[in-house]
Amino acid sequence: MPTMTEPLRLAPDPAAPPGPVGAERDDPGSFEAFFESEKAGLYSALCLVTRDRHEAEELTQDAFVRVLAAWDRGAIEDPTAYLYRTAMNAFRSKRRRAGVALKRAIGQAPHDDAYEQIESMDAALRALASLSERQRAAVVLMDLLGYSSEEAARMLGVRPSTVRMHASRAHAALRTTMGGAP
């Protein structure tokens, strides 16, 4: 594999002996020969795709490790195509993971914290439980379900001003219970 001091070649070195094309898996050196014949081309392609020699080298190594595992199982029909597909999939996965991590780091992606959601729901239910039935009904109908005070009053069989009074008192009690501003 070319190092950082060697020039980047897009084509195999003409002075290098040609690698076996379509080497049989029964040949004891077939994977090694495949590796030698394909490493420079894959590395060069990944250098162009990633624009980073270090990342290209890492992806090349990862791809060959994965191909070797599949090679040993005998699960590869076209080794070269499988090698390049594996390398490109690894590159896309790495970029995708890096993008998600970056979004989370700068706060653009929502955090999937199930425990935090459960704790918030529990705190809200406990706070609602501390209210009277009428206050709880007013808050649920107006704040959670979005009905107007007139619609909530019709549902509860009271005047709209009564619903607004219960909602106002409930809001004050919730601010106190949940530590909000008065």
Among 49, 41, 40, which residue's Cα sits nearest to residue 88?
A: 49
User: What's the pLDDT score for residue 149?
Assistant: 92
Prediction pTM value: 0.46
Q: Does residue 15 sit in the same domain as residue 28?
A: yes
Supply the CATH number for residue 118's domain. Answer: 1.10.10.10
Q: What is the mean pLDDT of the chain?
A: 81
Domain boundary among 95, 111, 127: 111
> Are 14 and 89 found together in one domain?
yes
Cβ proximity of 109 and 100 under 8 Å: yes
Residues 24, 51, single domain; the answer is: yes
- Residue 10 confidence (pLDDT): 47
What is the C-alpha separation between 130 and 159, in angstroms, rounded? 23
State the DSSP H helix or E strand holding residue 149, giving kind and residue range, or none if neither.
helix 149-156
Q: Shortest CA distance to 164 belongs to which of 156, 175, 126? A: 156
List, for residues 37-88, the tens digit of each pLDDT value: 999 999 988 888 888 899 999 999 999 999 999 888 887 888 888 999 999 9
Q: Domain boundary at 111, 129, 157, which?
A: 111
At 20, is the pLDDT very low, low, confident or very high (cuts 50, 70, 90)?
A: very low
Residues 78, 123 within the same domain: no
H-only helix segments in 51-142: 53-73, 79-105, 114-129, 133-139
Q: Number of structural domains, the chain?
A: 2
